[in-house]
Chains A and B, each alone.
Chain A
Amino acid sequence: MLSEKQLIADCQRGVKSSQYELVRRYTGMLKTVCRRYAPDESKVKDLVQETFIRIFSNIENYQPTGSFEGWMRRIAVRCSLQWLAKNYNKREAQPEVMPEGQPLLPKALENLAVAEIHALIAELPYGYRTIFNLFVVEGYSHKEIGHILNITESTSRSQLTRAKIILQKKLKKYNTSKYKSA
């Protein structure tokens, strides 16, 4: 099995078997990233394909100073956001000062699987979901999010707060129904 370093070197030289190996290894990871932004499974696949094409186009410029997975994730996020920017109208929310960092329901969250949490996040409106994913999952700052989405920092902050509130409610509701069904 090729090491990651060897795999990158081969892809930089255009070795096709290694390019296929890269697709095989990282399709799952990129699908996870793209799924957070894509509305449906078919779009996820489109975004993953687009991400791979961009990876192969730019892999010559990749410098092994950081994580290769992180570099691919950033490409996938940008790819997804560009698609979002083209297909959804931007909605600028008025800045609202709302408390953030409120703890989730600890017990409820711990009882949920990652897939269930992702499913709940996916139910968020696309604007909230995007900012929530960028901030909470990808770890971007509000400044970076504002730059990526071309919105103000305060807009990003307020939409994140709303997303968190909605997600809390959904978690509570999901746990209640789950408890009742059990």
Chain B
Amino acid sequence: MNWDDLHQRLNKDTHENVSSEEVDSIWSAIEPEVDRINGRRRRKKVGWLFFALVGMLAFAGGLFLMNLNSNENSIAYQDKIKVSETDSKKIPSEVTASKDEKVATQQTLSTKDNRTKKETIIYNKKSASNEDVDFKTTTKIIRTNNSTTRGIASTNYKNINTKNIQTPAFKEQEVKKPQTIIVDSYINSNKTIASVNRSFTPVELLDRPFTGAVSESLKIDFYNKINNDASKPEGRLTLELLGGISKAKRDFRTIDTSNQYIIDLRNEYEKSLVTHHAGIRLQWQFDNGVYLGTGAERTAIRELLDFQDETPLPETAQAIERYALKISDNNRFVKGKLQEPEEPIVKKIYNSYNLWDVPLLLGFRQTKGKWSIGAEAGTFLNVHFRSKGEILLSDADFIDINTTRRSVGFGLHTAGFAERQLWNNLSIKASPFIRYYPSSLARLNFPIEQRYTLFGGNIGIIYKL
């Protein structure tokens, strides 16, 4: 037998017999600790469950809030459709028509939710005469329970159930003139968003036969009405609260070239800090996506003058230091300077240029579902300007820039933006922009002009009034 055999033999039976009393003794000794471990494990599980629940609730809440508006519109619309289909039975038939009279019945129903749902049905002629009708090949004929009723519908549109829609009758004596009955309407905030109309037009009054092209134009008109009204049920005036930051690029200009030295020094010692923006804007949105905007915005351009240098104390020369080159007993003076004590100059000043502007903006907004993108451009009329701090006047002198001017003119502004609708009337916005102030923000008549271009971005919220 060798050591390996001993290893096998010693590990062959490692279970020694223990009495139940001994097991109970060990268990009772460790039971409190085991309970503590189990409790910790349970608390850990409950904690994870709690966080998971909170996360799920937050996620569900976010989804709910983000889709609140579209769901409301969608549900309201669907309810209305149901009402429309059932209530149509109740339409009082004040007029009675003979079946063989030729009439054109047109019914258009269209609406829009976040997925732009549109439905259109066009009925034509209760009689079987098709001579006046020019159906396109892409349209299909709908037959209702009334076999005398025919319709065409674009294949791109969902057909509504027409079984319950009764054909309105009209008085024989009124057949000669067109008439319209409102079957149902979709009302939101006391404003009609969409309506289901039935129009009766005597054939002899039609200037041209119904065609697919005619129905298409009707659909688009109705769709645009709903698109504009449904997405902005409360009006077209919007209020924006914006805040943002930008990077100010400073451009020095001077007529006197001797000032270039100062410009170099200022570029070296004056650093541009983050510019802050805050503003409020009102916008008036037109049907075609164009809008006009105005409001008020505060822009705070900030810079840091961090100057460190030494300057000799005046009239304190202690010696003259000379350097000479000696060649074959000829000393040639090379360079010399006064030995003067120097004092350190340390300046650390935060300069600020505060502007209050009134923006006059023209923009265009394209909306698709809950998202909008667009661009705007215009001027920022400066109505108040105030600067504070010090700048370099020479290599060791400073000048105060504290000044309050009525205006520094105007700024040119252009921006793009993306918006996301959160609730019915509330959206958020992100907008990168560029703004240029062509007037100098330096003191009046200061020899070095300084103009600013701002590259930045705003974020904000938009409330539809």
Count of interface residues, chain A, beta-carbon cutoff 8 Å: 33
Q: Are B27 and A20 in contact (CB under 8 A)?
A: yes
Choose from A29, A49, A57, A104 the contact partner of B26 (Cβ within 8 Å).
A49
Q: Are A114 and B10 in contact (CB under 8 A)?
A: yes
Q: Are B26 and A48 in contact (CB under 8 A)?
A: yes
- Tell me the minimal C-beta distance from B15 to chain A in angstroms: 4
Q: Determine whether A142 belongs to the interface, using a CB cutoff of 8 Å to chain B.
A: no
Q: Determine whether B318 belongs to the interface, using a CB cutoff of 8 Å to chain A.
A: no
Report Cα–Cα, A33/B42, bound state, in Å.
31
A90-125 vs B: 1/0 string, CB under 8 Å?
000000000001011010011000100110000000
B363-388 vs A: 1/0 string, CB under 8 Å?
00000000000000000000000000
CB proximity to A under 8 Å, residues B29-82 = 29-30, 33-35, 37-38, 41-42
Q: Determine whether B335 belongs to the interface, using a CB cutoff of 8 Å to chain A.
A: no
Across-interface contacts of B10 in A (CB, < 8 A): 114, 117-118, 136-137
Q: Are B26 and A60 in contact (CB under 8 A)?
A: no
Count of interface residues, chain B, beta-carbon cutoff 8 Å: 30
Closest B residue to A19 by CB, please name it.
B34
Q: Determine whether B333 belongs to the interface, using a CB cutoff of 8 Å to chain A.
A: no
Report Cα–Cα, A119/B158, bound state, in Å.
91
- Tell me the minimal C-beta distance from A51 to chain B in angstroms: 10
B1-43 vs A: 1/0 string, CB under 8 Å?
1110011011111111110101101110110011101100110
Across-interface contacts of A172 in B (CB, < 8 A): none
Report Cα–Cα, A57/B16, bound state, in Å.
25
- Residue pairs across A and B with Cβ atoms less than 8 A apart, 18 shown, are A23-B30, A24-B23, A27-B26, A28-B16, A28-B17, A31-B18, A33-B14, A48-B26, A53-B33, A53-B34, A60-B41, A101-B2, A101-B3, A104-B1, A104-B3, A106-B1, A137-B10, A139-B7
Residues in A lying within 8 Å of B, measured CB to CB: 14, 16, 19-20, 23-24, 27-29, 31-33, 45, 48-49, 52-53, 56-57, 60, 101, 103-104, 106, 109-110, 114, 117-118, 136-137, 139, 164
Residues in B lying within 8 Å of A, measured CB to CB: 1-3, 6-7, 9-18, 20, 22-23, 25-27, 29-30, 33-35, 37-38, 41-42
